[in-house]
Homo-oligomer: A and B are copies of this chain.
Amino acid sequence: MSLHGGIDLGGTKIQTVVVDEAHEVRGEARRPTPHEGGPQDVAEAVAGCMREAAELAEVETAALTGVGVGSPGEIDSGAGTVSSAGNLPGWAGAFALGPFLSEQLGTPVRLGNDVQVATDAEFKLGAASEYDSVLGVFWGTGVGGGLILDGRPWLGRGAAAEIGHVVVKQGGALCPCGRHGCLEAYAGRGAMEAHARRQHADGHKTDLFKIMEKRERERLTSGVWARALEHGDHLATHLVDRAVEALGTGIASALNLLDVEAVIIGGGMGVRLGQPYVDRIVDAIMPHLFNDARPPDVRLAALGDLGGAIGAGLLVAPDPG
């Protein structure tokens, strides 16, 4: 039985899996992404988290056929470097994550774009397996995108599928990327939290930060948002409504350009809020959809929280015969 590893390196958490040839998960681990220090600290946490999943699967990391990593930022898969990872601490320059992990884990490591590997996972194993053209939308700390056209990933010149930076409002809100009016400026959990903190500081009432403290979190996780929504918290409801509206607008723009068969909604927020919010996103897409007589299928990611890590594993998985 050959086993391989998959790592989903996100702005909020690191998720690792050990997977067998049938893509069954044999071990998994998770820890928060360090939000202080630099690339070396993050890389050490990643290696530790991978070792933890391997222990649970009762295998040495050196015995894995390989480990795939889905990473944010700019990936040079040849050199194994990650640069400009804005959601990771101190990671503006290039860091040789692949070689570092390969030495730490004693097995070959291959890097890919975090959202592209999650899209591939849904395309090969999950909610998009019956389609040839798919837009993946990963609603988390940021809003990431992945594109499958005619059965293959569309990468453009290496920077395609940035659905989070489709403009939904010219002259609109400041995005963490420094531009204005991007989808992510309204729907990214990072931008939503910054907005909530400002509103809270300005005296708006909200239970978001009480829930956060009660759960011993330092950030407004998807779970915190979900709980606040359940309690009917006004500020949380307002900001999530705004995010849903922006997601509908940005996804509709992408559909008007690409007219794909299906949209998959994943990411921490997407998976946590689930089908009722997928339905609300569809309602927000429709008024802007040009081909509204024939809307695409819009589905919740089927692999849930593990999709990114399983998809990263596909980078090193033996080809199905």
* Listed residue (A161, A171, A291) with the most chain B CB atoms within 10 angstroms of its CB: A291
Query: Is the CB–CB distance between A159 and B253 below 8 Å?
Result: no
CA distance A182 to B154 in the complex (A): 25
Given known A170-B246, A245-B170, A246-B170, contact A156–B252 (CB-CB < 8 A): no
A270 contacts the other chain (CB 8 A): no
Stretch at the interface among A22-30, A119-127, A254-262: A254-262
Query: Is the CB–CB distance between B168 and A167 below 8 Å?
Result: yes
Cβ-defined partner of A290 (8 Å) among B162, B253, B257: B162
| A261-299 near B? 1/0 per residue, CB < 8 Å | 100000000000000000000000001101100101000
Query: Is the CB–CB distance between A259 and B157 below 8 Å?
Result: yes
Q: Which residues of B contact A145 (CB under 8 A)?
A: 257
Q: Which residues of B contact A79 (CB under 8 A)?
A: none
Q: Which residues of B contact A168 (CB under 8 A)?
A: 167, 170
Query: Is the CB–CB distance between A258 and B169 below 8 Å?
Result: no
Tell me which residues from 143 to 178 in chain A have a Cβ below 8 Å from any Cβ of chain B: 145, 147, 149, 154-163, 165-172, 177
| A168-207 near B? 1/0 per residue, CB < 8 Å | 1111100001011110000000000000000000000000
A249 contacts the other chain (CB 8 A): yes
Query: Is the CB–CB distance between A179 and B287 below 8 Å?
Result: yes
Q: Which residue of B lies closest to A155 (CB)?
A: B259
Cβ-defined partner of A260 (8 Å) among B149, B156, B250: B156
Cβ-defined partner of A259 (8 Å) among B156, B254, B260: B156
Query: Is the CB–CB distance between A161 and B288 below 8 Å?
Result: no
Query: Is the CB–CB distance between A163 and B257 below 8 Å?
Result: yes
Query: Is the CB–CB distance between A288 and B167 below 8 Å?
Result: yes
Query: Is the CB–CB distance between B287 and A162 below 8 Å?
Result: no
Query: Is the CB–CB distance between B261 and A258 below 8 Å?
Result: no
CA distance A166 to B254 in the complex (A): 7
Chain A residues in the interface with B (C-beta under 8 A)? 133, 145, 147, 149, 154-163, 165-172, 177, 179-182, 245-246, 249-250, 252-254, 256-261, 287-288, 290-291, 294, 296
The 10 A-B residue pairs with the shortest CB-CB distance in the complex, in nearest-first order: A156-B259, A159-B291, A160-B259, A162-B256, A166-B253, A165-B290, A165-B256, A162-B290, A159-B259, A170-B249
Sample (11) of A-B pairs whose CB atoms are under 8 Å apart: A158-B259, A159-B294, A162-B256, A162-B291, A163-B257, A165-B256, A166-B166, A166-B257, A167-B250, A170-B249, A257-B257
